[in-house]
């Protein structure tokens, strides 16, 4: 980060290896620090803050999520938290649509088929590798997309799906959120949809042809997508998770795929990814042919990651210098991403 390392007024101690930062290294080097830059894999808890000492003024994370940061401790110690919303909205929306297409059109299965040198012996049949079609047609004129989490990224996904002829959009609002009637009417008109409407979780499960999970993590959303939810979904439906792995029960989803409760899944996040080595080739979802699993790369577009890095650097610099952060987390609006 030249924005940081090029400054003469700030001493930078940098983890230089291209892998997750060792916690022991972090605890050894944080004492006396005024600012801390982290990724979503780095847990910032009371231990880190206590070892860091009273000079710590700001934690800047190169992510839109903040579940890895103990916000109660941050508020208690009056430590500012910088993060990177908005910047990654389009990149994540792109990847969500990509995962929906990969899951519906059996891209994982067919790519593996070719990689395993099975194409030379392939006997073409009319329905080989077929899956549900994302777009509408004259002979299949309606599609309902559902959203668990209907914030910035969901709106960007909906805008992209409009080109596929999506007709209905349903979503489950954040508990306690006021009705958004005017906003929904605007989205319905803007994208030429038949419906944009809030629904309860059972209705979301029953009606969605493609369900996009874009909710934040945390206790309130833990395993909202469980066996009971998945059993209500259509056998032809697809689940896409670009939000947080903890929202979906991995074991339940693997069973749903194996037993045909749903057609397929496209995942950029998995519950067990928070555990080092938690997602291996033997993970039940990786083993499911109709499940496409990516290693949490939803924002991994070069231009997006570069801008995220720049904002992360600007946030920590401002905090270290005692200035207002360009983009600071407002503790009073927790959960507003949903």
- Please state, in angstroms and rounded to a whole number, the distance separating the CA atoms of residues 278 and 216: 20
Per residue in 195-215, pLDDT (tens digit) is 999 999 999 999 999 999 999
Buried-state track 135-158, b at ≥16 Cβ within 10 A, e below 16:
eeeeeeeebbbbbbbbbbbbbbbb
Task: Inform me whether the pLDDT recorded for 300 exceeds 70.
Answer: yes
Confidence of residue 333 (pLDDT cuts 50, 70, 90): low
Task: Inform me whether the pLDDT recorded for 317 exceeds 80.
Answer: yes
List residues with catalytic annotation: 296
Whether the full predicted model's pTM is greater than 0.85, yes or no, is: yes
Task: Tell which wins on pLDDT, 20 or 295.
Answer: 295
Confidence of residue 334 (pLDDT cuts 50, 70, 90): low
Which range, 9-13, 18-22, 220-224, is most confident? Answer: 220-224
Contact 213, 242 (CB under 8 A): yes
pLDDT confidence of residue 269: 97
Task: Inform me whether the pLDDT recorded for 338 exceeds 50.
Answer: no
pLDDT confidence of residue 332: 59
Give me the residue spans of the domains in the chain.
2-87+301-333, 89-293
Task: Inform me whether the pLDDT recorded for 25 exceeds 70.
Answer: yes
- Please state, in angstroms and rounded to a whole number, the distance separating the CA atoms of residues 261 and 84: 37
Mean pLDDT of the chain: 94
Q: 89-293: same fold as 2-87+301-333?
A: yes
Confidence of residue 335 (pLDDT cuts 50, 70, 90): very low
Per residue in 57-111, pLDDT (tens digit) is 999 999 988 989 999 999 999 999 999 999 999 999 999 999 999 999 999 999 9
What is the average per-residue pLDDT within 242-256?
A: 97
For the 2-87+301-333 domain, the top CATH level (class) is alpha beta
- Please state, in angstroms and rounded to a whole number, the distance separating the CA atoms of residues 229 and 225: 6
Q: Is CATH 3.40.50.720 the right assignment for the domain spanning 89-293?
A: yes
DSSP 106: T
């Amino acid at each position: 980060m030249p924005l940081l390392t090029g400054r003469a007024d700030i001493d930078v101690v940098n983890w230089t290896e291209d892998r997750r930062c060792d916690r022991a290294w972090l605890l050894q080097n944080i004492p006396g620090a005024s600012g801390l830059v982290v990724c979503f894999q780095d847990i910032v808890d009371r231990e880190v803050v206590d070892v860091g000492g009273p000079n710590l003024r700001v934690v800047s994370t190169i992510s839109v999520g903040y579940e890895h940061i103990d916000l109660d401790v941050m508020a208690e110690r009056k430590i500012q938290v910088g993060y990177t919303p908005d910047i990654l909205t389009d990149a994540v929306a792109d990847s969500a649509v990509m995962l929906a297409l990969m899951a519906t059109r059996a891209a994982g299965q067919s790519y593996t088929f070719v990689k395993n040198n099975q194409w030379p012996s392939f006997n073409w049949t009319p329905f080989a590798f077929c899956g549900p079609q994302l777009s509408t047609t004259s002979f299949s004129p309606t599609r309902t997309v559902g959203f668990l989490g209907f914030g910035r990224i969901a709106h960007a996904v909906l805008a992209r799906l409009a080109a596929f002829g999506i007709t209905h959009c349903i979503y489950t609002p954040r508990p306690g959120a006021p009705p958004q009637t005017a906003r929904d009417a605007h989205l319905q008109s803007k994208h030429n949809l038949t419906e944009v409407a809030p629904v309860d979780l059972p209705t979301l499960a029953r009606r969605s042809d493609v369900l996009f999970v874009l909710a934040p993590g945390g206790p309130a959303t833990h395993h909202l997508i469980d066996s009971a939810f998945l059993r209500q979904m259509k056998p032809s439906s697809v689940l896409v998770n670009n939000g947080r792995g903890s929202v979906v029960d991995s074991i339940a989803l693997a069973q749903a795929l194996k037993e045909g409760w749903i057609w397929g899944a496209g995942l950029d996040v998995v519950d067990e990814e928070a555990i080092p080595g938690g997602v291996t080739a033997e993970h039940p979802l990786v083993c499911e042919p109709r499940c496409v699993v990516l290693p949490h790369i939803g924002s991994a577009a070069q231009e997006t990651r570069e801008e995220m890095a720049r904002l992360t650097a600007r946030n920590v610099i401002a905090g270290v210098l005692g200035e207002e952060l360009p983009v600071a987390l407002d503790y009073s609006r927790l959960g507003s991403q949903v």
